[in-house]
Chains A and B, each alone.
Chain A
Amino acid sequence: MHTNSVPKKPSPGLIGRLRTSLRALALGALASVSAFAVTAPALAEVPLDQLVRIVAEGGNSFTRTFNPFSPTARWVSTRTMYEPLMIQNYATGKLDPWLATAYEWSADALSLTVTLRDDVKWSDGQPFSADDVKFTFELMKANPGLIGPAAGAFSQYLSSVEAVDAKTVKFTFSSTYTPGLYSLVDQFIVPQHIWKDVADPVTFENPDPVGTGPFTTIDAFGTDRYQVTKNPNYWQPLNIEGVFVQGFNGNDQVSAATLSGNLDWGGLVPDPDVTFVPLDPEHFGYWWPRTSVVLLLANTTDGALGDPVVRKAMSMALDRQRMINTGVWGKSVAANATGLPEAPFKDWLDAKVIADGAAWVSIDPDAANKMLDEAGYAKGADGIRVGKDGKPLKYDIIVPSGWNDWVSACQIVAENLKDIGIDVTLRTTTADSWTNSTFTGQFQLSLGTAQRTATPFEFYRNNMATTSVKPVGEASPNNQQRYGDPKVDELLAKFAASTDAAEQKAIIAELEGMFSAAAPAIPLYEQPDWGLYNTRRFTGFPNEQDPYAPLSLQMTNGPLLVWPHLARRAE
């Protein structure tokens, strides 16, 4: 069943012929020796040509772990099996109803009432109800090792969850925290009738999941691939049978499979306009919307890097366009001075802040040199500037070795900063070692990106609030640069307590101005969300013309929105 559908298939040649005859021999002999044949496992496999072939998980030692609370469980766990109440759609910027149809805040913003759909059933036929929602949140409260979007809600702002009736859930808050909405409705829900009997939900492997999602049946599972097929009770119409997930070991292997047309929905091939689309312009396409910004992070606890003048001068030495051309084949734009991506936050961006800050996010090495000279960072004998503590401005920039776009950006950073007398050495590490160093603040320069969120609230909290600053050595995914301003805390608190959109917008504009003034992180360019598709067999993928959902397979919030739109192309 090795379907090789390269458009121009070369003639098979010697080994190809050998292979064909081997196969013929095998098939011919099959009839005569079938008495000896070991019978195949008695699973009804949906044929591969009915399944959407995707590349989403690396590796080839797949285990049947579908515990949605573990981020290292199978990819499908939270993309086809368990569903949240609502989905923040980063392509449209809207909160799409899902298991829930609506939400309503109380006047004091201390309680949130969510109405559920009444036609949802679990994949085993049991009805889905408010009790399952209440159970999921209480399960997470009782087991802090269960991680999901709403983890920690109880310790921060949530006081109780109530099932008012079968279709109504009421969240009661301990303090006003309107951004909590997005975390609560984003939480995937597990069935009470199954999970109440699980002894330890944290280590539960969940090999035969029961969920509300479109594909919950595992009808075939191998060491390096598996297929998940229809939930017979799904609450939406579906035009496809299921998903086929295959593991790959590296970029080259993924690219090879993608270019050969062996994948229907995938991640990344280098320079798709040249390598990918021309192979089959009618069917091959990609869409890289931008919902985040790549930031150059300078550890503010490290001498001169704590000086905003130095950070801004560094920013002005950088050739952003070259980073975009080399790293992402020209498919992005330079970031603005607010640190926020344009498309998802267009309603929040303040044009004046962007215009005023344009200078420090544009290339101008002469001005940068002048700024540093004036600030007293004189050049030493070796041409490297010396900090006020007498230490030369010599830094390491760390980056995970497989992340090509970031690595080439770091190379350019190192090159550009030499021009203003700052010596930067590129150090590539494994992804996990890099995460360790950056999370614990044990680095000098690094790249980072913001979590995708519904509002800019989290971006400024995670990059400027004192509450997000952890001591160096303690791991935290946020505020790796260790920059905190108490004024930001006040503004964020005001934002969180507000239900007035206009007031919230004004607060964010003020935060944007503070970001542009202090440069707690250096915005480089907008990070594309990789996604490409092949419509030879399936149609309906979101793209620039029909941007109904993100195309990226890596976001938790994309695939669930896409499945109901896909359809098998008629032969």
Chain B
Amino acid sequence: MSLSESFGARARRQLLGSIPVTVGLVILGALVAASALAQVLAPYNPKRATGGINEPPSLTHLFGTTGQGQDVLSQFLYGGQNTLWVAFSIAVLTTLLALIVALTAAYFRGWVDDVLTLVTNVFLVIPGLPLVVVLAAFLPPGPLTMIMVLTITGWAFGARLFRSQALSLREREFIAAAEDVGESRWRIVAIELLPNMGSVVAAYFVNQVIFAITAQASLEFLGLGDGGQITWGSMLFWAQNSSALIRGAWWTFVVPGMAIALTAFSLALINNAVDEIGNPRLRADRLLRKAGVRKPSATLMTPVKRDA
């Protein structure tokens, strides 16, 4: 039996039925669509002063204007574009890097595994933000720097997660069987291991998007981003810079902040659901609850070693 099919089918069935997932998907979809259509939807040029300074929300400026007189709605839309593509790139790159490291370790085993594990663990214990701050300070500001810096510092946890997942899968009978039959190790990694890691990889990827969005915003807030580029983080940076809250211009601050929080929240909702599907115990618990059984009977369970 290949777990991948059942995972896909199960995911479709369960994810679409769950309320949190629906809420998450709707929020995320709305934010992504609005950002993607910024060029169409934005009423003004986001970089130009098109109104007075710190005008509160009105019909001409739905989300008000910034301390420089730019339209907050237009900035929010264009900012979403710049923020989201960078965040997704970082998530894709860190996931790929983590997978490559984990599967290489699982494939070669022996000293390669030892070295890669050591490198991973070193990256894991070196605290992220200080390193990121130092790195970002020395490279020219811009989206590429952001992607590079956050990829370098963000992959290690995934590598450890994927490696232990691969190791535990390797113990399974079907892999042992494949090895006995004499299938090549690459084939085992590609055909047997990888597809079975679907739920873990998916959950990790979603987590990485959240990580990337908040880390990016934090760096930009500290002034280490490219201030000329409109992102949600740089909007916050400028809001803070012109003392928006003290001057009562809450809209310049709350709009990008809520955009970041809502994106992360919608992803977290989806992730939590993915997690429940990937975790057989929680899944069984849920199914039983649906069936009206308050406490699951132990006989239904097979304990599965799960990496926290």
Direct contact of A and B (CB under 8 A): yes
**A binding-site residues for B, Cβ under 8 Å:** 250-252, 255-256, 259, 269-271, 274-275, 322, 325-326, 401-402, 404, 407-408, 411-412, 415, 425-430
Task: State whether A269 touches B246 (Cβ < 8 A).
Answer: yes
Shortest C-beta distance, B246 to chain A (Å), equals 4
Q: Which of B34-42, B143-151, B234-242, B299-307 contacts A (4 or more CB under 8 A)?
A: B234-242
**B49 neighbours in A (Cβ, 8 Å):** 322, 326, 411-412, 415
Shortest C-beta distance, B14 to chain A (Å), equals 42
**A415 neighbours in B (Cβ, 8 Å):** 47-49
Task: State whether A430 touches B137 (Cβ < 8 A).
Answer: yes
A259–B245 alpha-carbon span in the complex (Å)? 12
Task: State whether B241 touches A402 (Cβ < 8 A).
Answer: yes
Task: State whether B228 touches A256 (Cβ < 8 A).
Answer: no
**B67 neighbours in A (Cβ, 8 Å):** 270, 326, 404, 408
User: CB within 8 A of B68: which of A259, A411, A430?
Assistant: A411
**A322 neighbours in B (Cβ, 8 Å):** 49
- Among B47, B67, B246, max chain A CB count under 10 A is at B246
Interface size of B by Cβ–Cβ distance < 8 Å? Answer: 22
**A430 neighbours in B (Cβ, 8 Å):** 137, 223-224
Complex: chain B residue closest to A426, CB-CB: B228
Q: With A326-B49, A427-B227, A427-B228 in contact, do A255 and B243 touch (Cβ < 8 Å)? A: yes
Does more than half of chain A's interface fall in helix, strand or loop, or is it mixed? helix
**A425 neighbours in B (Cβ, 8 Å):** 228
**B56 neighbours in A (Cβ, 8 Å):** none
**B242 neighbours in A (Cβ, 8 Å):** 270, 404
Shortest C-beta distance, B62 to chain A (Å), equals 22
Complex: chain B residue closest to A405, CB-CB: B242
Shortest C-beta distance, A343 to chain B (Å), equals 26
User: CB within 8 A of B246: which of A255, A408, A412?
Assistant: A255
Shortest C-beta distance, A436 to chain B (Å), equals 12
A262–B47 alpha-carbon span in the complex (Å)? 36
Task: State whether B241 touches A404 (Cβ < 8 A).
Answer: yes
Against A, the Cβ 8 Å flags (1 = close, 0 = not) of B33-72 are 0000000000000011100010000000000000111000
Task: State whether A326 touches B69 (Cβ < 8 A).
Answer: yes
Query: What would 24 A/B residue contacts be, using CB atoms closer than 8 Å?
Result: A250-B240, A251-B241, A252-B240, A252-B245, A252-B246, A255-B246, A270-B242, A270-B247, A271-B247, A274-B247, A326-B67, A326-B68, A326-B69, A402-B223, A404-B242, A407-B227, A407-B241, A408-B68, A415-B48, A425-B228, A427-B141, A427-B227, A427-B228, A429-B141
Does B226 lie at the interface of the complex (its beta carbon under 8 Å from any beta carbon of A)? Answer: yes
* Interface contacts beyond A251-B241, A407-B241: sample of 16 additional A-B pairs, CB < 8 Å, sorted by A: A252-B240, A255-B243, A259-B246, A274-B247, A275-B247, A401-B241, A402-B223, A412-B49, A415-B47, A425-B228, A427-B226, A427-B227, A427-B228, A428-B141, A430-B223, A430-B224
Shortest C-beta distance, A273 to chain B (Å), equals 12
**B48 neighbours in A (Cβ, 8 Å):** 415
Shortest C-beta distance, A251 to chain B (Å), equals 5
A250–B245 alpha-carbon span in the complex (Å)? 13
Q: With A256-B246, A275-B247, A411-B68 in contact, do A426 and B241 touch (Cβ < 8 Å)? A: no
Task: State whether A326 touches B246 (Cβ < 8 A).
Answer: no
B208-246: which have CB < 8 Å to A?
Answer: 223-224, 226-228, 237, 240-243, 245-246
A425–B228 alpha-carbon span in the complex (Å)? 7
A252–B47 alpha-carbon span in the complex (Å)? 24
A411–B224 alpha-carbon span in the complex (Å)? 19
**A408 neighbours in B (Cβ, 8 Å):** 67-68
Does more than half of chain B's interface fall in helix, strand or loop, or is it mixed? loop
A252–B245 alpha-carbon span in the complex (Å)? 8
Task: State whether B243 touches A269 (Cβ < 8 A).
Answer: yes
**B69 neighbours in A (Cβ, 8 Å):** 326
A270–B241 alpha-carbon span in the complex (Å)? 10
Task: State whether B227 touches A401 (Cβ < 8 A).
Answer: yes
Shortest C-beta distance, A254 to chain B (Å), equals 9
**B53 neighbours in A (Cβ, 8 Å):** 325-326
Shortest C-beta distance, B59 to chain A (Å), equals 23
**A411 neighbours in B (Cβ, 8 Å):** 47, 49, 68
- Among B47, B49, B137, B237, max chain A CB count under 10 A is at B49
Task: State whether B246 touches A270 (Cβ < 8 A).
Answer: yes
**A407 neighbours in B (Cβ, 8 Å):** 227, 241
Shortest C-beta distance, B71 to chain A (Å), equals 14
Shortest C-beta distance, A443 to chain B (Å), equals 13
- Among B223, B224, B245, max chain A CB count under 10 A is at B223
- Among A275, A412, A427, max chain B CB count under 10 A is at A427
4 shortest A-B CB distances, which residue pairs?
A: A428-B227, A401-B223, A426-B228, A255-B246
User: CB within 8 A of B223: which of A255, A275, A428?
Assistant: A428
Task: State whether A275 touches B246 (Cβ < 8 A).
Answer: yes
**B224 neighbours in A (Cβ, 8 Å):** 430
A426–B301 alpha-carbon span in the complex (Å)? 61
Against A, the Cβ 8 Å flags (1 = close, 0 = not) of B267-295 are 00000000000000000000000000000
Task: State whether A428 touches B228 (Cβ < 8 A).
Answer: yes
**B245 neighbours in A (Cβ, 8 Å):** 252
**A402 neighbours in B (Cβ, 8 Å):** 223, 241
Against A, the Cβ 8 Å flags (1 = close, 0 = not) of B114-143 are 000000000000000000000001000100
A342–B228 alpha-carbon span in the complex (Å)? 33
**B141 neighbours in A (Cβ, 8 Å):** 427-429
User: CB within 8 A of A426: which of B223, B227, B237?
Assistant: B227
User: CB within 8 A of A428: which of B226, B240, B246?
Assistant: B226
A301–B133 alpha-carbon span in the complex (Å)? 34
Shortest C-beta distance, B216 to chain A (Å), equals 16
**B47 neighbours in A (Cβ, 8 Å):** 411, 415
Task: State whether B237 touches A270 (Cβ < 8 A).
Answer: no
A283–B40 alpha-carbon span in the complex (Å)? 51
**B227 neighbours in A (Cβ, 8 Å):** 401, 407, 426-428
**B237 neighbours in A (Cβ, 8 Å):** 401
Against A, the Cβ 8 Å flags (1 = close, 0 = not) of B64-106 are 0001110000000000000000000000000000000000000
Shortest C-beta distance, B242 to chain A (Å), equals 6
A415–B223 alpha-carbon span in the complex (Å)? 22
Shortest C-beta distance, B180 to chain A (Å), equals 60
Complex: chain A residue closest to B70, CB-CB: A411
**B226 neighbours in A (Cβ, 8 Å):** 427-428
**A412 neighbours in B (Cβ, 8 Å):** 49
Complex: chain B residue closest to A408, CB-CB: B68
A489–B251 alpha-carbon span in the complex (Å)? 54
A404–B246 alpha-carbon span in the complex (Å)? 15
**A271 neighbours in B (Cβ, 8 Å):** 247
- Among B53, B137, B241, B245, max chain A CB count under 10 A is at B241
Complex: chain A residue closest to B137, CB-CB: A430
**B137 neighbours in A (Cβ, 8 Å):** 430
A252–B252 alpha-carbon span in the complex (Å)? 14
A322–B68 alpha-carbon span in the complex (Å)? 10
Complex: chain B residue closest to A415, CB-CB: B48
